[in-house]
Amino acid sequence: MPLMLLRRCFIDRRLITSELKWLIVIILLCVCEMDFVSCQARYSIPEETPEGSSVGNVAKDLGIEINRLISGKARVVTKGGRQYVELSRDKGTLVVKERIDREELCKQTTPCSFSFDLIMENPIELHRVTVEVQDVNDNAPIFPKGTVNLQIIENTETGARFPLDRAVDLDVGINGIESYSLSQNDHFTLKINTQADGNKHVEMVLQRDLDREDRDQLKLVLTAYDGGSPKKSGTMQIHISVLDVNDNKPVCREIAYKAEVRENLAAGAVVTVVSATDADQGLNGHVSYSFAQASKEARNVFKINSETGAITTSDTLDYETEKMYHLNVKAMDNGTLSDTCNVIIEIIDENDNSPSIQLMSFSNIIAENSPIGTTVAVINVEDADSGQNGLVQCKINENIPFKIESSLSDYYAIITDELLDRENIAEYNITILVSDQGSPARHSNKTISVKISDVNDNPPVFSSEEFKAFVAENNSPGVAVLTVKASDADWGPNARLSYFLEDRNIQGNPVSSLVSVNSESGVVHAIKAFDYEQMKTFSFNVTARDGGSPPLSSEVTVTIIVQDQNDNAPQVLYPLQTGGSVVAEIVPRSADVGYLVTKVVAVDVDSGQNAWLSYKLQKATDRALFEVGAQNGEIRTVRQVTDKDAVKQKLTVVVEDNGQPSRSAVVNINVAVADTFPEVLSEFTDFTHSKQYNDDLTFYLVLALAAVSFLFITTVVVIISVKIYRWRQSRIFYQSNLPVIPYYPPGYTDTGVTGTLPHMYNYDACMTTDSRKSNCKYSTLGGQSVLVMDPSFTETLQRAMVEKQIQQEPESPEVVRK
Ligand SMILES: *[C@@H]1O[C@H](CO)[C@@H](O)[C@H](O)[C@H]1NC(C)=O
């Protein structure tokens, strides 16, 4: 029963409460008091003792004889579990039968022991043996994980704690964990707190800031040591990843980006690439680019790729607009940090602008007498390009009398280089050619037209050096005789010519009484009928004057040659034909054949053929007796005079000129054929009885003379009054600038009217000589006066005129002709 109790006591020991323990100890002591049961034997061995090693001499320790052990068949009885120990009976010792692992046997329980019974029979004897297993340091500290990964944000404040797994050592006591150590590093230290249960709490404390940009990975090793001897250790890898924080701002790679770009670069070309770096990671290090503080102009021209930082042109560049751009590029990461990169873009000039020509002043008309060096135009030449591309050269076309001179920079003057002559070239086109020095060069040109204005530098020039006109006498007054023509090389008013008659006296009369000149047409009109017998030729000067200021003029001599017409009948000079007197040529009866009786002397004031006279016997008392020399007018006898011939012979001789038609005069010649004067006288008394008639005629002549004288005086008075009136009129007339109209004094006894004056009146001029009757009469037809002559009167008139002329010029060779 006590055995059973004891046994139960062993078995249930672990289950027994602490109250029960005390009860079991008491019972054990009671059992040990008993005789047959010796008390316990205790041994102590280290774990891991090799098999066969002696645990202890149980026979000796328990006082049992070897024999007894053998006879009693002593054996080890282990209840359950493994039997670590066996009995060597013949030696009485206990030896290790199986490896003993304390940690397996007892875990962390200390002290660790196992018990078994030694049983013998005959008599039964029971001994309890307890073997205490001592710990041996056979286990190293072990961490639950070989590697631990930590992620720590950079810039975590110092002092931050990071708990770590602790290590486990199966050994106990001194062989358990004793210490930890952390591999050498700059950032962390180890802090170990021993907790109330004896366990150690391991943590890392951050001593220095982590910087991902410096090191983004840290590898530490935590080592745990036990207290055994020799010590054993275990390690744990600590992998620390430093997490990024946006603590770095982007940084431009270059302080200033400089780029040189040619203007006219095509849009889209890359100018430069801005680049900034950010030490941060991921989005914190992702840099985007944009313009900051860029001018509007720059933004119009450039754009930036926000991802790559490439600056490209978005429009064509123009050096002339902007030579340089300063751009600020903001490089920004995804956070709020940024940097500003300076970009300087310099535009390089290209020769893309043609030079421009601007007329600053220009006189498109210059006078032909402008002196050399007269400025025609001032031009301004500009080229927007710079350098050689903007350097401009200027010239004008050649072979014109102009040159170009540079006055100020960019200003040129076109001046005359020679004297100009409008009459030669009246207009010039000046082409200004401007080119710059670029490569290739650019050109511009401009043409200006310069007109040369006229100056009155050319006098009128007559078409002929001298003008001559032949006018048949007795021309109708007003007839156009000739036209003087002059030309003037000038232009406009300077070439507008007027013709004037130069005043001069011709045979005591002003030339204006003879001719007039149409001031515009230059037509010379005869004012009156010319009389060859009075004036065979006359000259006068006509001036052509232009309208310049001052005017220039030229003179030309006009000669009018009056041509003769057969307007005068022959005039018999001898024998004198007086109505009353009886003149007779005496032919002696003894006269021979061919006796010169007399000579008819006649003249014809005409000239040439018109004055070439021939004589003809028209009537004769005795045609057989006389003959007339056809050429010389000599009357000769053609036969011997006989006594039968009558004393009184009457001859009629006709004197004819050779004109077409011819004119003639008749002369009566009395011839007395007698030897003595009384004979003649007696014969010719019938010649004188007509004296009464002659007396009557004389009376009538005196009467006529008185009438003519009265008429003459009246006419003179009228002429003087009219002349004074006209003179006063003409004074007013000349003061005006009207063209000079030929002036016709009204006192002329010329017949008819002039063609140039619109006469509203008729000159009451008649040719009256010895006639008491009016021999002319007027008829007015359509405003023009026509003189109708009585043909019967012509002869009388002509004779009267001839008589007058002979009295004036008796020696005139033209008058006396043979
Ligand atoms: C000047 O140019 C104009 C226009 O081209 C032309 O009509 C004229 O005949 C030219 N004049 C001269 C003198 O060449």
Domains, the chain, ranges and CATH?
Answer: 5-134 (2.60.40.60), 147-243 (2.60.40.60), 251-348 (2.60.40.60), 356-453 (2.60.40.60), 461-560 (2.60.40.60), 571-807 (2.60.40.60)
Q: Is 449 in the pocket of ligand 1 (CB under 6 A)?
A: yes
Residue 18 has pLDDT above 80, yes or no: no
Which residues neighbour 65 within 8 Å (Cβ) at sequence distance 6 or greater? 59
Q: Please give the pLDDT value at position 694.
A: 61
Which protein residue has the closest C-alpha to ligand 1 atom 6? 429
How do residues 530-576 score in pLDDT, each as one tens digit?
Answer: 999 889 999 999 999 999 989 999 999 999 999 988 988 898 888 88
Sign for the CA dihedral angle at 278, 283, 286, 288 comes to negative
Distance from Cα 452 to the centre of ligand 1, integer Å: 13
Burial of 323: CB neighbours in 10 Å, binned 0-12, 13-18, 19+: middle
To test the pocket of ligand 1, the residue of 364, 397, 399, 427 to mutate (highest count of ligand atoms within 8 Å of its CB) is: 427
Top-confidence residue, 818 or 495 = 495
In this structure, which amino acid lies at residue 53?
S
C-alpha–C-alpha distance, residues 813 and 611, integer Å: 12
Which residues neighbour 76 within 8 Å (Cβ) at sequence distance 6 or greater? 83, 85, 86, 87, 94, 116, 117, 118, 129
Which protein residue has the closest C-alpha to ligand 1 atom 8? 429
Distance from Cα 797 to the centre of ligand 1, integer Å: 72
Give strand pairing partners of 635: 598, 628
Question: Which atom in ligand 1 lies closest to the alpha carbon of residue 429?
Answer: 1
Which protein residue has the closest C-alpha to ligand 1 atom 5? 429
How do residues 764-794 score in pLDDT, each as one tens digit?
Answer: 333 434 434 434 343 334 333 333 334 444 3
Q: Please give the pLDDT value at position 6.
A: 37
Residue 796 and residue 787 in contact, taking contact as beta carbons nearer than 8 Å = no
Q: Report which listed range, 166-175, 358-367, 619-628, is most confident.
A: 358-367
Q: Is 209 in the pocket of ligand 1 (CB under 6 A)?
A: no
To test the pocket of ligand 1, the residue of 420, 421, 429, 430 to mutate (highest count of ligand atoms within 8 Å of its CB) is: 429
Residue 425 has pLDDT above 50, yes or no: yes
Q: Please give the pLDDT value at position 7.
A: 36
Residue 605 has pLDDT above 50, yes or no: yes
Q: Please give the pLDDT value at position 585.
A: 82
Query: Can you tell me the mean pLDDT for 168-177?
Result: 85
Which residues neighbour 232 within 8 Å (Cβ) at sequence distance 6 or greater? 137, 139, 140, 141, 169, 175, 225, 226
C-alpha–C-alpha distance, residues 712 and 708, integer Å: 6
Distance from Cα 368 to the centre of ligand 1, integer Å: 18
> Model's pTM, two decimal places?
0.50
Question: Which atom in ligand 1 lies closest to the alpha carbon of residue 427?
Answer: 13
HSE-CB of 381 using CA atoms within 13 angstroms: 29
Distance from Cα 381 to the centre of ligand 1, integer Å: 23
* Mutual angle of helices 18-32 and 2-11, in 10-degree steps: 140
Distance from Cα 339 to the centre of ligand 1, integer Å: 68
Average pLDDT, the chain: 81
Which residues neighbour 252 within 8 Å (Cβ) at sequence distance 6 or greater? 274, 275, 276, 329, 331, 339, 340, 341
* Residue count of the chain: 818
Distance from Cα 458 to the centre of ligand 1, integer Å: 25
Give strand pairing partners of 77: 117
Residue 802, token pair as written in the block: 């001839």
Q: Please give the pLDDT value at position 21.
A: 44
Query: Can you tell me the mean pLDDT for 360-364?
Result: 91
Give strand pairing partners of 515: 526
For tokens 């005129």, the residue is 801
Residue 513, token pair as written in the block: 């009484």
Which residues neighbour 67 within 8 Å (Cβ) at sequence distance 6 or greater? none
In this structure, which amino acid lies at residue 690?
S
Q: What is the DSSP letter of 145?
A: -
Q: Is 429 in the pocket of ligand 1 (CB under 6 A)?
A: yes
Which protein residue has the closest C-alpha to ligand 1 atom 2? 429
Which protein residue has the closest C-alpha to ligand 1 atom 10? 429
Question: Which atom in ligand 1 lies closest to the alpha carbon of residue 428?
Answer: 13
Q: What is the DSSP letter of 284?
A: G
| SS3 category, 36 | coil
To test the pocket of ligand 1, the residue of 449, 450, 451 to mutate (highest count of ligand atoms within 8 Å of its CB) is: 449
Top-confidence residue, 172 or 614 = 614
How do residues 582-595 score in pLDDT, each as one tens digit?
Answer: 667 888 888 888 88
Q: Please give the pLDDT value at position 641.
A: 84
For tokens 């493994």, the residue is 82
> Phi and psi at residue 155, in whole multiples of 5°?
70, 15
Q: Residue 132: which of 229, 40, 20 has the closest Cα? A: 40
Lowest mean pLDDT among 434-438, 466-470, 589-593, 674-678: 674-678
Residue 21, token pair as written in the block: 């323990």
Question: Which atom in ligand 1 lies closest to the alpha carbon of residue 449?
Answer: 1
C-alpha–C-alpha distance, residues 231 and 420, integer Å: 129
Q: Please give the pLDDT value at position 419.
A: 93
Q: Is 464 in the pocket of ligand 1 (CB under 6 A)?
A: no
| SS3 category, 815 | coil
Burial of 731: CB neighbours in 10 Å, binned 0-12, 13-18, 19+: exposed
Q: How confident is the model at residue 381 (pLDDT cuts 50, 70, 90)?
A: very high
Q: What is the DSSP letter of 213?
A: T
Distance from Cα 429 to the centre of ligand 1, integer Å: 6
C-alpha–C-alpha distance, residues 480 and 468, integer Å: 13
Distance from Cα 364 to the centre of ligand 1, integer Å: 13
Distance from Cα 399 to the centre of ligand 1, integer Å: 15
Q: Is 424 in the pocket of ligand 1 (CB under 6 A)?
A: no
Q: Is 364 in the pocket of ligand 1 (CB under 6 A)?
A: no
Pairing of strands 41-46, 125-134: parallel
User: What ranges in 622-748 are assigned the alpha helix state H?
Assistant: 677-683, 685-688, 691-735
How do residues 700-732 score in pLDDT, each as one tens digit?
Answer: 888 889 999 999 999 999 999 999 988 888 776
Distance from Cα 437 to the centre of ligand 1, integer Å: 30
Q: What is the DSSP letter of 566?
A: S
| SS3 category, 236 | strand
Distance from Cα 450 to the centre of ligand 1, integer Å: 10
Which protein residue has the closest C-alpha to ligand 1 atom 14? 429
Residue 292, token pair as written in the block: 């900051």
Q: In the structure, how many helices (H) and strands (E) does the chain have?
A: 10, 53
Q: Please give the pLDDT value at position 794.
A: 39
Which residues neighbour 595 within 8 Å (Cβ) at sequence distance 6 or greater? 587, 636, 637, 641
Lowest mean pLDDT among 150-164, 329-343, 768-782: 768-782
Q: Please give the pLDDT value at position 735.
A: 53
How do residues 490-508 score in pLDDT, each as one tens digit?
Answer: 999 999 999 999 999 998 9
Q: Please give the pLDDT value at position 803.
A: 44
| SS3 category, 767 | coil
In this structure, which amino acid lies at residue 448?
I
Distance from Cα 496 to the centre of ligand 1, integer Å: 27
C-alpha–C-alpha distance, residues 529 and 563, integer Å: 12
Q: Is 427 in the pocket of ligand 1 (CB under 6 A)?
A: yes
CA distances from 202 to 1, 146, 167, 182, 222 (A): 55, 16, 9, 10, 10
Q: Please give the pLDDT value at position 680.
A: 67
Residue 525 has pLDDT above 90, yes or no: yes
Distance from Cα 428 to the centre of ligand 1, integer Å: 7
Dihedral over alpha carbons 346, 350, 353, 357 (to 10 degrees) = 100
Pairing of strands 626-628, 634-637: antiparallel
Q: What is the DSSP letter of 388?
A: G
Question: Which atom in ligand 1 lies closest to the alpha carbon of residue 425?
Answer: 13
Lowest mean pLDDT among 64-78, 265-279, 380-394, 551-565: 64-78
C-alpha–C-alpha distance, residues 419 and 711, integer Å: 71
Q: Report which listed range, 36-50, 73-87, 422-436, is most confident.
A: 422-436
Distance from Cα 493 to the centre of ligand 1, integer Å: 25
